[in-house]
Amino acid sequence: MSLRPYEVLAAQRLLPVLRSADADEAVRTVRTLLAAGCRAVELTTSTPGWPGAVARAAALADALGRPALVGVGTVTTAADAGTALDAGAGFLVSPYPAPEVRETAARRGAPFVEGGFTPGEIAAAVRRSGAAKVFPAHVGGPEFLRSLRAVLPGAVLIPTGGIAPGEVRDWLAAGATAVGIGSGLPTDPAELAALFASLAAYPAASGVRPARAHDAGHAAPAPGGPGGPGPRAHGPRPAAPDGPSAPSGGAAGPVGDGSVPAEGPVARGRAAHLPSAGSAPPGERPTTPEASADVGGGTRPSAPEPGRAVPHAGTEPGLRVPLRAPAVPDGIPHAPAVGPVPPKWPPTGPQARGVCPSVPEAGRGAAAGGEA
């Protein structure tokens, strides 16, 4: 078929739906509409002798000499679908989901605007053909259509049923591609021509584009363009680089001023910007967190000062867990167990003096030859 019904409907913005008393009346109405600037019109199977009316109307042309685009609505059976296409129908329309019509249209390569009311029915119709008839539209109103347009931005949506000509612009503003009108159109040729001219100039709703039947099922390009990376909505948090890192609230202070960064290596259990225990003078044990060694490097860190908040390894950056030295009986030196204890700690013998206060000095602890 050379005509592209969806594009014609998107340009015309109004689809007359004719339920005439007989075939002759239907053809006369089609002639009047075509002379007023209309090109696409829908006849219905409720009109007596509709196949003959479709054949006669399909042979007509509009005011610009273009062939008329005649659709057939209220098609619910495979038999009616075949009869309509044999008579020259340019597209088929159903008021509700019609699997038989769907199969016939697919086999014959004909555009099919399948009807639906629920979001699921309408979305299913759009997935199959790119278009859907929203019926009965007056039940949900323009706001219902606006909600549908938000989740079906590229669909051809044609609300029909209970819509007056004066309400057409409200539906177009809500996102309708075209609006089906079954009654109430002006009978005066000049007024009818003015109506079609004004609606044809009405701007398209945001996100609406004329769709085609063969467009259905094509996936939208990924954000960022074909082959290009798009914005990632989910995924792991990027790892912080090794080395000194400042807290999220500002830059880290100099070593020794009590500032402890909460991001970077510290959040992963490493304090790369802090001096190790080996930097303390020989014979002195580090006593502040700033002089703590790498937890995973084999040196036992010293106890934090009471009430001092230090970063907690493995937590999200910026979180701090206050740690307090546990209360112990007076006179018993101790060091809280923070991190893994090296297997050969504490040292024993003479070299322990001045290094580990937990090892008694000679003459103050156990008797010679006893346990240290």
- DSSP states of 207-235 as a string? T-----GGGTTPPPPPTTSTTS----SS-
Contact 151/143 with Cβ under 8 angstroms?
Answer: no
Output the six-digit token pair for 301: 């860190």
Dihedral (CA of 258, 262, 263, 265) sign: positive
What does the alpha-carbon distance between residue 79 and residue 104 come to, in Å, rounded to a whole number? 9
Output the six-digit token pair for 195: 């109506």
Active-site amino acid positions:
42, 133
Contact 92/72 with Cβ under 8 angstroms?
Answer: yes
Helix (H, G, I), strand (E, B) or coil at 57: helix
Question: Nearest 5°: phi and psi at 322?
Answer: -70, 135
Quick count: other Cβ atoms within 10 Å of Cβ 302? 20
**Residues forming beta bridges with residue 42, ordered by sequence position:** 17, 71
What does the alpha-carbon distance between residue 205 and residue 171 come to, in Å, rounded to a whole number? 10
Cα–Cα distances (Å) from 180 to 15, 34, 134, 171, in that order, read: 5, 16, 10, 10
Dihedral (CA of 204, 11, 220, 176) sign: positive
Distance separating the N- and C-terminal Cα atoms of the chain: 100
What does the alpha-carbon distance between residue 141 and residue 216 come to, in Å, rounded to a whole number? 26
Cα–Cα distances (Å) from 122 to 11, 128, 129, 147, in that order, read: 22, 10, 11, 12
Which residue do the tokens 């400042």 mark? 246
Cα–Cα distances (Å) from 201 to 66, 67, 69, 146, 189, in that order, read: 19, 21, 20, 21, 19
